[in-house]
């Protein structure tokens, strides 16, 4: 059995409470499913340390402006790593966007934020969602991933405090 990848988790959102161990289990489970079922999630995320950053909407919008020349808010931004240097990439997620979307759609905040992590992981695994056909593939992969996490009994709890 291979050793789990190193995962760095930064919580830059002042009101977000999270269980880092549960977040690590989500990523480890996705990595394990990708390794054991070739093609389920393409080849999976490249090896190396994975960084996850939970952010506010304004902070993620600033990253969006600085690195993608688009100042609008977004839910997830991923940065590819350099496996030769031991990095798989970075997933930056907006806890604010997850909370707003979950509330407006009557969804569970923890499930929505977990979906954002899955979405970022899938981007690093080679999925894209900028064109309709690619977006359908991404959505199907998100459903498979969320099902795999549910089957494993993984549902990290996140909360926003006032």
SS3 state of residue 154:
coil
Q: If we measure between CA atoms, which residue out of 24, 74, 25 comes closest to residue 51?
A: 24
Backbone angles phi and psi of 131, in degrees to 5: -120, 150
Does 70 show up as a binding residue in the annotation?
no
Beta strand segments in the chain, E? 7-11, 16-18, 40-43, 49-55, 76-80, 87-94, 158-160
Does 13 show up as a binding residue in the annotation?
no
Does 64 show up as a binding residue in the annotation?
no
Q: Which residues are annotated as a binding site?
A: 119, 123, 129
Known binding-site residues for Zn(2+) equal: 119, 123, 129
């Amino acid at each position: 059995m291979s050793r789990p990848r190193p995962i760095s988790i930064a919580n830059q959102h002042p009101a977000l409470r999270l269980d880092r161990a549960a977040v690590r289990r989500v990523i480890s489970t996705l990595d394990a499913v990708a390794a054991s079922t070739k093609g389920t999630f393409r080849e999976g995320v490249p090896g190396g340390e994975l960084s996850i950053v939970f952010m506010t909407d304004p902070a993620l919008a600033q990253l969006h402006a600085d690195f993608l020349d688009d100042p609008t808010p977004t839910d997830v931004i991923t940065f590819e790593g350099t496996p030769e240097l031991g990095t798989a990439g970075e997933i930056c997620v907006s806890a604010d966007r997850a909370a707003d979307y979950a509330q407006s759609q009557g969804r569970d905040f923890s499930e929505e934020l977990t979906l954002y992590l899955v979405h970022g992981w899938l981007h690093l695994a080679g999925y894209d969602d900028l064109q309709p056909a690619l977006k359908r593939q991404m959505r199907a992969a998100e459903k498979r991933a969320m099902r795999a996490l549910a089957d494993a009994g993984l549902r990290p709890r996140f909360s926003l405090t006032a």
